[in-house]
Structure 1
């Protein structure tokens, strides 16, 4: 009977020790799990912070006028007018949007001037006497208006702050717009040069007319490429 009683007490003691060990293991496991989850969260947040801080504020490729004004060592950076910060870039993107919207409006205004200039040019080509004199005056006035509108529209595009990222790969309407801009800018220069040479070289009239029409075509296609 004594042996049975001793065996019963011994078995109860072993069960109690096992229960305590199991509780300790569970408590230890729970304690180890919480810091592990916290460590994972901290690491995730650190990774997000690092990726945000490492994201460049300026695109790698910019046109030379944008780099001159808005580049890392551009005029506005050196003069501390527009410090290169995340908050500053957010403001610059708003300025960029305003300038490009104004650029697009200026494009349509200039296009209307081109149409008027073309009509006056066609009339001037066959005009004689006083009609020629009067039409030439309006033709010159129209040319002055176009040059101012064209120059202002071009300046808005060339001096606007750069976008966040560079150009998209592949052929896009923006790239078409830029390629056509090179064509009509060259045509604008050639048209103005030829216009000043016509008085001394009347035989250049057909060349001037052809270049003017070509410039108008390139400019119209450039405007349409951003509209549709």
Structure 2
């Protein structure tokens, strides 16, 4: 019994020592040098930065707020996956932009013709009386409705068109585009003012000179904006 106990103690002591003997640990197989090691954190960040830069370069840095709302990196058409941001998609968008801007110019001239007709009717209305006044006023209101529709459509075609190509540097100083946009703010303000005063003239005849002045200012700014876009 005593010898059996000694043997058990010897086995219990020898077992851990054998497990801890480093000479008996099996060496690991050599690594396969043909397998490419995974990219480290710096490489992954660099790839992400490159992809982000490429995505940003597809769009210009400066866009009209309406363009950014629809066509920006997080715009409505991007979020809904209707127009995903990609090089192929941008090619299609540039074609859509051209169609929008050509339509914008055509409707711009149509609206300008409406302004001319409205100016003629407005001058006749100031001197008309009786049945002539009612007849001319009806035509004047019809043309006003047409102008409001064509003017609004012309503006929307420009404000919602896809953005153009990104530029490496922002052009400084005078340009026809900057003049066109400044005049657009002026004739938009005049358009709103003219419409507000047109509804108040019937009850306040003393507002007629202001209504007329606003109408002619709007026409002048609008005509100048069309001419400005042709300046090279």
Q: CA deviation at 1:170?
A: 2.1
- Counterpart CA distance in 2 for 1:170 and 1:83 is 34
| Aligned pairs, number | 179
2:26 maps to none
- Counterpart CA distance in 2 for 1:53 and 1:68 is 20
Alignment partner for residue 181 of structure 2, among 178, 183, 200? 178
Q: CA deviation at 1:53?
A: 4.3
Q: Which moved more, 1:163-172 or 1:216-225?
A: 163-172
Show CA shifts across 1:37-86 (max 9, x none): xxxxxxxxxxxxx7994771111111110000000000000110000001
Alignment partner for residue 208 of structure 1, among 206, 211, 231? 211
* Residue segments in structure 2 that go unaligned for 5+ positions in a row: 1-49
The answer to which structure has the higher helix fraction is: 1
1:56 maps to 57
Q: What RMSD over aligned residues (CA atoms) do the two structures have, in Å?
A: 1.6
TM-score, normalised to structure 1, is 0.76
- Counterpart CA distance in 2 for 1:141 and 1:220 is 21
* Residue segments in structure 1 that go unaligned for 5+ positions in a row: 1-49
1:190 maps to 193
1:12 maps to none
Show CA shifts across 1:174-203 (max 9, x none): 110000000000000000000000011010
Show CA shifts across 1:86-130 (max 9, x none): 110111011001100100001000000000000000000111110
